[in-house]
Structure 1
C-alpha cells in the first residue's frame, strides 16, 4: 500500500476559505476507483509552522497513485488548489 500525504498552506487562511478547500478535497471520496482511503484534516493549532490542511490518501500500489494523479476528478481539485495555495509539501511512502 502507498500512503500519500499532502499539506497545504493557503493564501487566504480564513475559516471559510480553509473549509471550502477541505470540502473540495473531501469531494473526491467515492469518485476515484484507485483511492482506497481519504482523510482531510484542518489545522487546530495555527502555529507559525502550521499548514492549514492535511490530506491523507492510500492506494494499493504506485501505479494506482499514478492513475489517481491524472484522474479527471483529481485534476479538477488541482485546478482549485493552484488558485488558492501558498505552499504545498508532500510525502509518499509504503505502508
Structure 2
C-alpha cells in the first residue's frame, strides 16, 4: 500500500475557505479509480506549527499515485481550484 499525505496551509483559513477546500478534496472519492482510500482532516489546535487541512490518500502502488497526480479529475476539479487558495503545502509519501 502506498500512502500520500499532504498538509495544506490556506491563504484565508476562515471557516468558509477551510470548508470549501475540504469539500474539493472529499469530492475526489469515487471519481478516481486508483484512489483506494481518502481521508480529510481539519486542524483543531491552530498552533504556530499547524497546517489547516490534512489529506491522506492510499493507493495500491506508486504507479497508481503517479496516475492519480495527472488524472483529469484531480487536475481540473481539485488542483485548479485549490492551488489559488493555498499559501503553502507539504507532502509525505511512503510505502508499507
Task: Please give the TM-score of this superposition, normalised by the length of structure 1.
Answer: 0.98
Pairwise CA RMSD: 0.6
Q: Which stretches of structure 1, 4 residues or more, deviate above 2 A after TM superposition?
A: none
- The runs of 5 or more residues in structure 1 that have no matched partner are none
Distance 2:43 2:20 in 1: 14
The alpha carbon displacement at 1:81 in A equals: 1.8
Q: Which residue in the other structure is 1:23 paired with?
A: 23
* Aligned 1:12-91 pairs, distance under 5 A: 12-76=12-76, 77-91=78-92
Cα distance in 1 between the residues matched to 2:4 and 2:83: 18
- Alignment size in residue pairs: 95
Q: Which runs of 5+ in 2 are unaligned?
A: none
TM-score by length of structure 2 reads 0.97
